[in-house]
Amino acid sequence: MVIIYKIKKRLWSKIVVFSRNYDWYPKIYRSYWMSKFRENAIVKDEGIKQYFTAIPNVGAGIGHQMANWIAGYWWAKQFGLSFAHIPFSSSKWETFLGFGLGEPSVEELIQQGYRKVKIPLFKEKSKEDLQIIRSIIKAYTNKKVVFVCGQDQFYKDQYGVINDIQQKFYQAPSRKDDCLIFEENAYNVAIHVRRGDIVAGQNKIDNHTMRWLTNEYFETVLKNTLDFINTTKKVNIYLFSQGDEEEFKEFKKFPNLIFCLDMGAMDSFLHMTKADVLITSKSSFSYKPALLNKGIKVVPKDFWHGYPKDSSWVLVGDDGNIIKN
């Protein structure tokens, strides 16, 4: 049975990928035809609570998975539905983030008699796509269902859930186990220089090109950031990346620089959330800590997710210079 399930799952994924860019894509979903079958039905809403969720992509990194989770949380609110939690692929990250606190899980709901209903991926700016989803939801009025987004449902302005995810993160029981290397009473600046997977693709015209930023860029951003910091405390700089120190020799001229090149992903993430200033890369791995960070965030203007119009978010151009509001 497990093998048959895996075969069906893989076949379905291939069908979705193949049909995604065609107009008839929504029609491969049973829920679409249900909406057509019941579009003229007059049904009195009996107030049965319905849920909405999105599956964190188990094959992706934690930043990507968080984007999926956030999309499900956001769209649940937009469609007037309750949110159902699907755990992250790693139980350690699940505990660390605490996002499932106070949220019913899909498995719990199934045990209560709910069933999952797959819905098509939709473009968030498309009125037609959104109408299709609303019609599907209406067709299941009075049904105990959990609507499940297709894989990697997009939501650009992920900052729309900042207050909720910050509350979850900072109230998570795992916070009592947090251990920081930050010097007490110092002003802590964290800078994330994305390398690792994008190094090999820096000279290619592909997805890596969108993510590559030079050491010169980060050097300029760091200098400009230090210029506007207003503090009487000692300023320490923590550089989070992968590689050897010699690959970042441009930064050695900055006083109180601490390289964090061998620190694990979870500890690096934690330090970025707790820094007084966080300088991000074009990377989900530093964008997500920025959403949780309560200090100043210095971020690249051109990124695939949005930023709130807030003084704690400082935008910089591709030249590393701060963009004046």
Last residue of a domain, one of 155, 176, 197: 176
Contact 32, 25 (CB under 8 A): no
Q: How far apart (Å, rounded) are the C-alpha atoms in residues 106 and 102?
A: 13
Within a 10 A sphere around the Cβ of 24, how many other Cβ atoms?
8
Q: Which domain holds residue 30?
A: 24-176
Count: domains in the chain: 2
Q: Is the same domain home to 156 and 269?
A: no
pLDDT digits (tens, 9 = 90+) for 219-241: 999 999 999 999 999 999 999 99
Quote the pLDDT of residue 91: 96
pLDDT digits (tens, 9 = 90+) for 108-149: 999 999 999 999 999 999 999 999 999 999 999 999 999 999
Identify whether 321 is part of a domain: no
Last residue of a domain, one of 132, 157, 176: 176
Q: Is the same domain home to 148 and 194?
A: no
Q: Is the same domain home to 217 and 93?
A: no
Q: Is the same domain home to 117 and 44?
A: yes
Q: Is the same domain home to 172 and 224?
A: no
* pLDDT over threshold 50, residue 207: no
**pLDDT-wise least confident of 22-36, 38-52, 236-250:** 38-52
Identify whether 109 is part of a domain: yes
Identify whether 195 is part of a domain: yes
Q: Is the same domain home to 186 and 132?
A: no
Identify whether 232 is part of a domain: yes
Amino acid at 54: A
Buried b (16+ CB within 10 A) or exposed e, 240-261: bbeeeeeebeebeebeebebbb
Q: Is the same domain home to 159 and 185?
A: no
Quote the pLDDT of residue 198: 38
Q: How many helices (H) and strands (E) does the chain have?
A: 10, 10
Q: Is the same domain home to 189 and 305?
A: yes
Q: Is the same domain home to 198 and 272?
A: yes
Q: Is the same domain home to 29 and 164?
A: yes
Last residue of a domain, one of 142, 176, 210: 176
